Structure 1
Amino acid sequence: MPRTTPWAGDPVWLADVLRAEGIELVEFPGWQNRGHGDFKDIRGVMVHHTGSDNATAASIAYGRPDLRGPLSQLHIARDGTVTVVAVGVAWHAGRGMYPWIPTNMGNWHLIGIECANSGTSPTAPHRHNWPDAQYFALVKCCAAINRRLSQTAARTIGHKEYAGRAQGKWDPGAIDMDLLRRDIQAQIGDISRSAPTPRPPVPVGEYADVLLFRGTEGPLVAELQRLLRSAHPEFAGHLAVDGDFGPETEAAVRVFQRRTPGLKVDGIVGPATAAALRLNPAPATAVTA
């Protein structure tokens, strides 16, 4: 029987369900142990273009100087080759909102698919510069994952639908998401018992764009460290105000969350934790994940 509850933890079944969909899968070395920690629960799929027709699976697995990989769980080349690069959390979603995803938490709830494609432009017609092999490999990947989670195609979204306002993202370019979802649903077929759609509270207001976690750098991290040091010297007085969200900053955030009713203890500063801290969101952040 298909699952009808959210999948908690990493998608260890990813390679198996893709192959069952008829996809000739390439396994990037070390994918079973690659990721930025574990998923909270998997609620759907997020689709991206890389910005280059020639982006390789290695570039997704290892990342770039300003953002350490993995940058998604899957990579799809223009010839339709699908490579699984990671099973753990990947930095692909960043800041954003969608009704069934906790604000700014897409990385911990969505499987990311990066397609080697320039995207052409935000106004390009559907499937312009998307080879059939690449497009239909994308459809099969999304269908396989959604079906495994007993979900409809509605649980596949574009990065632009989640992060368009917060980050100005427009990927996947030249993809009409409604038409893509139509094709994915046709591939999925009927689901007799679909999983319930989560409806988390959606924090709004001045903290809606705050997302800080280990590895983040910039003025807002320094502001966080400064605030923790001054307001909570008993457990954060030792913090260096260096704008680098390292293990000591994460540990201090966890202590604050543990002492504050209603907060999840995860070491991540999203809208709820930022509001509880009364963090000044004015400094620009360096978050691009």
Structure 2
Amino acid sequence: MKFETMPGLKDIRQQLRKHTHKNYAKQNLSRIQFITLHHSGTTSGDAFSFVDYHVRHHGWPGIGYHFVITKTGIVQWTNSLETVSYHTGGRNSGNIGICLTGAGEFTSSQFEAMNRLLVLLTGQFQIPVRNVLGHNEHPGQQTICPGMNMAAVRTGLYQQKSRSTATENSKNEQASTILKEFNGIFRRGMKGAKIRDLQNLLVLAGERLPKYGDDGIYGLETEAAVRSFQRKHGLSNDGIAGPKTLTMLARIIGQSTPF
């Protein structure tokens, strides 16, 4: 399924306010490589109220997002994906902007709609899950936006995309979706977004990180969780998340309950 036929999607691109003489730049769809999540910072509202602020207050050509997800889970399609709108300073080109109405608190309907949209967009435009980022994860951004756990969002995407191939591939091939996005060798001392993703994958596979959780630091607690996972699944107990460990982790997650 393409995102254009997604249930709950409302195309309101022609209904929104535009600046009287300013226009956004356009780009080829082949340039799209990022999806960025935002929150509105408000407790209510939708694309029609947000565009008024963007045009009247900021003087922008139109609304800054490509999609807005309302509290009820309606996905408002607000800009064509060829549009280089303003939503992530210095990273607007090749970047789809999705905004959830809210200020760090969102409804289950919003998360369900967001996940459906992310699965469709990453598949349709071949966007790696690692390139699904929160506004504050891009370089040079000073913001708490999008007010959600992005490592958990990506973990859910890894799992959903893995499970979506279940009817087409054998169980031994289930892991390929995750591994294609999440490869490398990870060991104690490493830091960053991929370590947060690894920590969330470990928890999803049944391991515990009770003290530090998904802090993005491969410390003693994360190493212990990796060793525990390796012992349970007959792997070399070295505490290093290499290809064999990641393959097994991906297979276990691919067969588990959806995130």
Instruction: Using structure 1 for the length normalisation, give the TM-score.
Output: 0.49
CA deviation after TM superposition for structure 1 residue 117, in Å: 0.7
Matched-pair contact (CA < 8 Å) for 2:8–2:73:
no
Equivalent AA in structure 2 for residue 178 of structure 1: A
Separation (CA, whole Å) in 1 of partners of 2:131 and 2:137: 12
2:144 partner letter: W
Any idea what the Cα deviations from partners look like across 1:158-203, whole Å, max 9, x if unmatched?
A: 001015xx24111111x11110011122233459799x99xxxxxx
Higher relative contact order (CA 8 A, sep 6+): 1
Distance in 2 of aligned mates of 1:84 and 1:53: 20
Over 3 Å off, 4+ runs: 59-62, 189-194
Is 2:145 the partner of 1:171?
A: yes
What is the RMSD computed on CA atoms of the aligned residues?
Answer: 3.0
Name the residue aligned to 1:240.
none
**2:112 is equivalent to residue 136 of structure 1:** yes
Q: 1:1-42, CA deviations, whole angstroms, 9 ceiling, x for partnerless residues?
A: xxxxxxxxxxxxxxx72254x43111114179x861112510
The Cα offsets for residues 31-83 of structure 1, whole Å up to 9 and x where unpaired, read as 79x86111251002000001012121113445241242221100000110000
Q: Which residue of 1 aligns with 2:254?
A: none
| Structure with more helix by fraction | 2
Q: Is the 8 A contact 2:135 2:145 kept in 1?
A: yes
Q: Partner residue of 2:26?
A: 38
Aligned length: 158
Matches within 5 A, 1:102-141: 104=90, 106-119=91-104, 129-141=105-117
Q: What is the aligned counterpart of 2:66 among 64, 73, 92?
A: 73
- The residue matched to 1:136 in structure 2 has which SS? helix
Name structure 1 gaps, 5 residues minimum. Answer: 1-15, 95-103, 120-128, 198-289
Contact kept, 8 Å, 1:53 with 1:78, in 2: the verdict is: no
Give the Cα separation in 2 of the matches to 1:23 and 1:53.
Answer: 24
CA contact (8 A) 2:100 2:106 kept: no
Equivalent of residue 160 in structure 1, options 111, 136, 152: 136
Q: 1:74·1:112 contact (CA, 8 Å) conserved in 2? A: yes
Distance 1:29 1:160, change over 3 A: closer
Structure 2: 5+ residue stretches without partners: 166-173, 182-259
Q: Pairwise mapping of residues 16-35 of structure 1 onto structure 2 (< 5 A)?
A: 17-20=2-5, 22-30=6-14
Check conservation: 1:140, 1:184, Cα contact below 8 A: no
> Offset of 1:151 from its aligned partner?
3.2
Indicate if the aligned counterparts of 1:146 and 1:155 stay in contact, CA closer than 8 A.
no
Query: Is residue 158 of structure 2 the alignment partner of residue 185 of structure 1?
Result: yes
Is the Cα contact below 8 Å between 1:153 and 1:184 reproduced in 2?
yes
Q: Which moved more, 1:45-54 or 1:183-192?
A: 183-192
Q: TM-score, normalised by structure 2?
A: 0.54
SS of structure 1 residue aligned to 2:106: coil
Q: 1:117 to 1:193 in 2, by over 3 A?
A: closer
Q: What residue number does 2:121 align with? A: 145
Assess if the C-alpha contact under 8 Å between 2:2 and 2:124 holds in 1: yes
